[in-house]
Structure 1
C-alpha cells in the first residue's frame, strides 16, 4: 500500500499541478524564524535559565582574570620591597588566578551540560513533527517532491537547530556580556577614551563583518541549492539503478552528476575567495583597534596615570574580546545559514495538507461490511484535464463490483478517491451512507485494504513487510496470511526464511513475489472493504488462478472493489462496470454484458482469442 501512495496516477502526469495551488510562501524574517523556534526551547525553561546563569558566571570569572593579572604584575614591580609582598602575596594571587581560569572552564562546561538536553530535545521535537507532518501531507505533494533535496533540507534544518543554539548561546551572547563588563570596567577604572576606542573598533568590525557576510550569503545559498540538486540527482539515479543499467547509461548519469559537482565547485571557490577577503579585513580592523588601545595605555604609563599592570590588563582585555570576534564572520554566516535552513524546514511544516479532517469529523464505526456508493462524482487531477465524469455506482454491503476498461479510463482513480488520497470536486463518496469527507481519515483507511498494481516494499525482512499490514501480528498470523497469498512455500525454501531481506523497494524479489507479499499483508490487515487494483497482474496463469480463488474466498462477506484488465479475473463479480474516458459506458453481470454484445463482449472475445 505504500507504493500506492507514491506511484503517479495512471490517468495523470507523474507530477501533476496542484488542484488547489499552494499560495506562494512569503519570505520569513529572522525574527519570525526565531519566534517559531522559541517554544521548542522554552519547554526547557528551567535549563535555559540555569544555562544563562552559568554563562554569566563564566564571563564574570573571565573578566576577573585580567584584573587579577594586573594586581599580580603590580605586586611584582621593582619598588615592592617587602619580603611578604615578594613571596606570600604572589602565591595567593597565582592560586586565585588559577581558580578563576578553572572557574571559567567549569562554568562553561556546566552551561553546555545543562543546556544539552534542551538542544537535543528541541531538535528531536522538531524532527518528529516534520516527519509526522510529511506523512500527513497529500499524495499530490509526494508526487511532486524531490526526495533527495527534501531530505537534505530536513537534515540541514535539524542541524541548524544545533548550530543556532551553539553559536548564539555559546558565542554571541557570552561575547556581548563580556563586552558590556569590560567597557563598564574600563570606563569606571580609567577614562572614557578607552571605551570610545573599543566601541569604535567593535562598531567598524561588526559593520564590516555583517556587510561582507551578507554579500557572501548569496554564494552560500547558491552553494546549498546546487548541493541539494546534486544530492537529488545522485539519489534519483541510485533509486533507478535498474533503469540506468537497462539503457547502459552509467556514463551519462556520471556525467550529469559531474556537471552538478562542477557547478558546485565553482560556487564554492567564489565563497572561499569572499571568505579570505572577510578574514583579511577583520584582522586589519582588530590590529588597528589593538594598537590604538595599547598606545593610549602606554601613554598613561609614561605619564604616571597608569601602572604596568594596567597596561597588561588592557592588553589582556583586548585579546579576550578580539579572540571570539575573530570568528564573528563565521558565526554570523552560520547563524544566518541556520536561520535559512530552519525557515525551509518550518515552511515545509506549514505546507497545506490539502486533504484534511473536517473540524467535526467523526470516526467510521463498522460492525459489518458497509455499502460504498459513488454519487455523481466528478474529478480532475488538473483543472484542464478532467478524469471522471458524473460517475455513479454502488457496491452493496458484502458484494463485489469490478471495474474494467482501457488504461487511462479512470479505474485506479476510484480507489484513490475512496481512500481519500484526493477529494472529489463534485459529487460524493458514501460509506454506509456517510460522506467520506465527514469521516476521520484514520478510521476510514483502517477500514480499507488495498493491493496496488505496483508494489514497493520496505528494505527489511519478508516477515516485516507482511506484518506491516497489522503491526503487532504474531508470526503464526503472518505465516497464515502468506499461505493464503501462496508465498509461504517460497519463503520457507529460502535460506533465511521469513528473515530474508527483500532489498531496496523489494528489488530482490520478482514482480510476482512482491505482489504476493502485498496480497499477504492486505489479507493480514483483514479490513471490511477491499480494493484489488490489478492485484494479480504480475502472476503467471497457474498462480493467478490459485490466488484468485483465495481472494474470492477472502472477499466473501466483504465489500470488494476489483480493478482489472484481465476479464477472466472478474467473471464472478456481482456487477461489472465498463469505463472509458472517465465514464461508465456499460454495467451488468458477466453474462448480461456478453449478451449485450457491447464493449465488454468485444474485450472478452479479444482476450479469449489472445489466450
Structure 2
C-alpha cells in the first residue's frame, strides 16, 4: 500500500506497472524506440564518412543512399511510435481515472469530510494527468533518448576514445547537476503539493457554498484568504523553480563548453593526422545529439520529481482503506425481501471520539414504521447509516429477514433500501435522470407515476422541457420543496421493501407535506419504514418511537405511552424540538 513516505522509486515502479494490461504493446514501443535511437546514431556516422568521401571524391553516392534509407526508416518508426504511444497513454489515463473515481465513490464519508471535495478531485485529475505525461514521455521520447546515449558512447569510442572521453565527461556533468537539484528540491516539491492540495480544497469548499459566501458578504474575506494561500504556495514554489532554472543554465553552459572542446581537440588531433575531418564532423554531430538527448532526459527527470508528490497522492487515494467492504464469502440477500429489521446490541464509536451509538436493540417488523427522535447529536443518523452499511458496527449485529447484513453483498442490501435524505442529493442532470437513480431501467410511465405519488408531477410540467429540464448543481434551479419531492419520487420509484426517511419532509410547506404524507402512508403499508423526524404529525402515526440520547435508546413506545411517561420525549414536545405543523 502507498504510504506518505513511499519512495520515488516505489511510486514509479507502480506507475509503470499500471501499463501491465498492455505490456506487449509497451514492449513493442520500447523496441521501436531503440530502433529510432540506432537510426539517429547512424546519421552522424554516415555524415562524417560522407564528408571524407567527398574529400576523396569517391563513394559519396552510396553513403547518401544509405543515409536516405536510414532516414526513411526513422521517419516511419517515429510516426508509428508517436501515434501508438499517444493512444496507449490516453487509454491508460482513462483507465487510471476510472479506477480512482471508482475508489473515491466507495470511500467512507469521513474520508471526504476530512480531505474535502477539491482535494480529492485534484488527487484524481492532477494525478492522472501526471501519469499521462510520464507514460507518453517514456514511450515517445525518453526510451529513445536513453538508448541513444547508451549506444553513443561505445560508438564514439570505436571511432576515437580520446574524443569519446569528452562526451562521457559531459554526461557525468549532466548527471551530477540533476542529482544535486533533485536533492535540493525534493522536500520543497512535497511542500508545494501540500499547499496545492489545501488550495484546491479551499476552492471546492467555497464554490460548494457560494450562496453562503454571497449572503454573508464573504467575498472580500474569501478573496483575502485565497491570496494568502496562493502567496504561501508561491513562497514554497519559487525556490524549487529557481533550482530547476539554474539547472537549465548550467547544463546549457556545459553543452557549449563541450562543443568548443570537441572542435578544439579535433583540430589538434587533425594537425597530427590522428583524426579525419569527417570524424571531427561526426563528433560534432555526436555532441549535438547527446546534448539534445541529455536535455530531454534532464527536463523529463525534472518533471518526474516535480510530479512525484502528485502521483503519490493519486496512489494514496487508491490505497485509502474503505470502512465497509464485501467479505470474501458475502452472499446476496434472499428474495423476496420482507423487510424484517432487527438490531442486536449494536455499538459504533467514531474513531478518535467518545461519540457514537451504544447497545442498540430493537425490531422493526415488515410494514411497521419506526420513528427515531432525540436531541441533535443523539445518534439517529448514525443508527440508520449502520443499516445501510455506510459504517460497520464495532459490536453487535443487524439482521434483515434473519440474515446478518455483515455477510451480505453491499449491492443486494442497498438495492432493497430506499433513502430520502434531509439534503435531497440531486445531480446536475435532467429531472427524469434524477428520479431514475432509484431504478435506471424504469419506463417513462413509471417515472411519471412516481412523480405523481410524490406530488411532483404538476411542478415538473411547469418547467421548460418538463422531465428533460436540467436542474443544476445540487438542484439549485429548484426550490427546497421541489428538490425534496424529487428525492421522494426517486425513493418511490425504487420499490424497495425498506424505506429510510431522514427529515424527508423538512423542506416542504404544510400543504405539500400533508399531500406527501398521504403518499408515504400508502407506500409504507408494505414496507418497513424508519424515520428520523421532528414533525409531530410524522411521529404520532409511528408504530414505535425510539428516543435516543447520547447514542443510547432511553425511551421507547408509541406516542401516547411516551407522552404519559413525561420523560425526554415529552420534554422535546414541550420545548418545541418535536413540532406540530401549522396550517396555511
Measure how far apart 1:343 and its partner are. Answer: 2.2
Cα distance in 2 between the residues matched to 1:597 and 1:328: 78
Deviation of the 1:565 alpha carbon:
0.8
Q: Does 1:530 align with 2:499?
A: yes
Whole-angstrom distance in 1 between the partners of 2:386 and 2:406: 11
* 8 Å CA contact retained: 2:146, 2:297: no
Q: Mark the CA change 1:495 to 1:165 in structure 2 (over 3 Å): closer, same or farther.
A: closer
2:29 corresponds in structure 1 to: 51
The CA distance in 2 between the partners of 1:311 and 1:368, in whole Å, is 85
Q: Matches of 1:107 and 1:365 in 2, distance apart?
A: 58
Moved more, 146-155 or 600-609: 600-609
Task: Please say which of residues 456-465 and 272-281 is displaced more in the overlay.
Answer: 272-281
Distance change in 2, residues 1:236/1:604 (3 Å) = closer
| CA deviation map 1:183-235 (0-9, x unaligned) | 22222233x22232222221122111221233134443333333332222222
Determine whether 1:211 maps to 2:180.
yes
- Mind listing any 5+ residue stretches in structure 2 that lack a counterpart? none
8 Å contact 2:537–2:580 — kept in the other structure? Answer: no
2:443 corresponds to 1:474? yes
2:129, 2:89 → 1: CA distance? 11
Residues 196 and 233 of structure 2 are in contact (CA less than 8 Å); yes or no, is this contact kept in structure 1?
A: yes
User: Is contact 1:51–1:112 with CA below 8 Å preserved after alignment?
Assistant: no
Q: Which residue of structure 1 aligns with residue 426 of structure 2?
A: 457
CA contact (8 A) 2:510 2:581 kept: no
- Structure-2 separation of matches of 1:312 and 1:195: 13
How far is 1:392 from its partner?
1.4
* 2:47 paired with 1:66: no
Give the structure 2 partner of residue 589 of structure 1: 558
- The 2-side partners of 1:265 and 1:597 are apart by 62
Tell whether 2:341 aligns with 1:372. Answer: yes
SS of 1:573's equivalent in the other structure is: coil
Match of residue 414 from structure 1: 383
User: Residue 530 of structure 1: SS of its match in structure 2?
Assistant: strand
1:122 lines up with 2:92 in the alignment: yes
CA shift digits 1:495-526 (9 cap, x unpaired): 22112221111112111111111100011111
Q: CA deviation at 1:103?
A: 2.8
Secondary structure of the residue aligned to 1:401 is strand
1:276 aligns with 2:245: yes
Of residues 447, 463, 471, the one that matches 2:416 is: 447
Q: 1:225 aligns with which of 194, 198, 206?
A: 194
Cα distance in 2 between the residues matched to 1:181 and 1:600: 84
Alignment partner of 2:125 out of 142, 149, 155: 155
C-alpha contact 1:466 1:521 (8 A) present in aligned 2: yes
The correspondence for 2:467, drawn from 498, 507, 517, is: 498
Aligned to 2:67: 97
Residue aligning to 1:32: 10
Q: Which has the higher contact order (CA 8 A, sep 6+)?
A: 1
What is the alpha-carbon distance in structure 2 between the residues aligned to residue 34 and residue 314 of structure 1?
35
Aligned to 1:13: none
Are 2:154 and 1:184 equivalent residues in the alignment? yes
Mapping for residues 248-267 of structure 1, pairs under 5 Å: 248-267=217-236
TM-score by length of 1: 0.89
Distance 1:495 1:168, change over 3 A: closer
2:143 maps to which of 169, 173, 179: 173
CA contact (8 A) 2:484 2:507 kept: yes
Q: What whole-Å deviation, never above 9, does each CA across 1:116-153 have from its counterpart, x for those lacking one?
A: 33322322222211111112212221222221122112
Asked whether the equivalents of residues 416 and 498 of structure 2 are also in contact (C-alpha less than 8 Å), the reply is yes
1:437 aligned onto 2:411? no
Aligned CA distance change for structure 1 residues 51 and 354 (closer, same or farther; 3 Å): same
Superposed displacement of residue 113, structure 1: 2.2
- Contact 2:182–2:305, Cα closer than 8 Å, also in 1: no
Task: Please identify, of 544-553 and 381-390, the stretch whose mean Cα deviation from structure 2 is larger.
Answer: 381-390
CA contact (8 A) 2:367 2:525 kept: yes
Q: Please list, as runs of the form range in 1=range in 2, the aligned pairs for 1:318-357 lying within 5 A after superposition.
A: 318-357=287-326
For residues 168 and 602 of structure 1, do their structure 2 counterparts lie closer, same or farther at Cα, with a shift above 3 Å needed? Answer: closer
Contact map agreement 2:193 2:309 (CA 8 A) in 1: no
With 378-387 and 459-468 compared, the bigger mean Cα shift is at 378-387
Any conservation in 1 of the 2:85–2:140 contact (CA below 8 Å)? no
Cα RMSD (Å): 2.3
Determine the structure 1 residue equivalent to 2:108.
Answer: 138
Distance 1:42 1:27 in 2: 24
Match of 1:41 among 10, 19, 26: 19
Look up the SS of the partner of 2:455 in the other structure. coil
Query: Shift in Å at residue 610 of structure 1?
Result: 8.5
Which residue number in structure 2 is paired with residue 76 of structure 1? 54
**Structure 2 Cα separation of the partners of residues 319 and 61 of structure 1:** 15
Asked if the contact 2:33–2:141 (Cα under 8 Å) also holds between the matched residues in 1, the reply is no
* Mapped contact 2:26–2:139 kept (Cα < 8 A): no
Name the residue aligned to 1:199.
Answer: 168
Q: Does 1:235 align with 2:204?
A: yes
Q: In the aligned structure 1, how far is the partner of 2:350 from the partner of 2:534?
A: 22
- 8 Å CA contact retained: 2:501, 2:531: yes
- For structure 1, list consecutive stretches of 5 or more residues without a partner in the other structure: 1-22
1:387 deviates by 3.0
| 8 Å CA contact retained: 2:417, 2:498 | yes
Q: Distance in 2 between matches of 1:205 and 1:181?
A: 17
Alignment of 1:508-523 (within 5 A): 508-523=477-492
Indicate the larger mover: 349-358 or 98-107.
98-107
Aligned residue number for residue 9 of structure 1: none
Instruction: State whether residues 167 and 335 of structure 1, in contact with CA within 8 Å, keep that contact through their aligned partners in structure 2.
Output: no
CA contact (8 A) 2:431 2:470 kept: yes
Greater mean alpha carbon deviation, residues 25-34 or residues 303-312? 25-34
Report the Cα offset of residue 177 of structure 1: 1.8
Q: Name the counterpart of 1:17.
A: none
Shift of 1:115: 2.9
What's the CA shift for 1:537? 1.1
Taking a change above 3 Å as real, the CA distance of residues 211 and 167 of structure 1, as seen in their structure-2 partners, is farther
Residues 43-63 of structure 1 show CA distances to partners (whole Å, capped at 9, x for unaligned) of 212212221222122122111
Normalising by structure 2, what TM-score?
0.93
Partner SS for 1:442:
helix
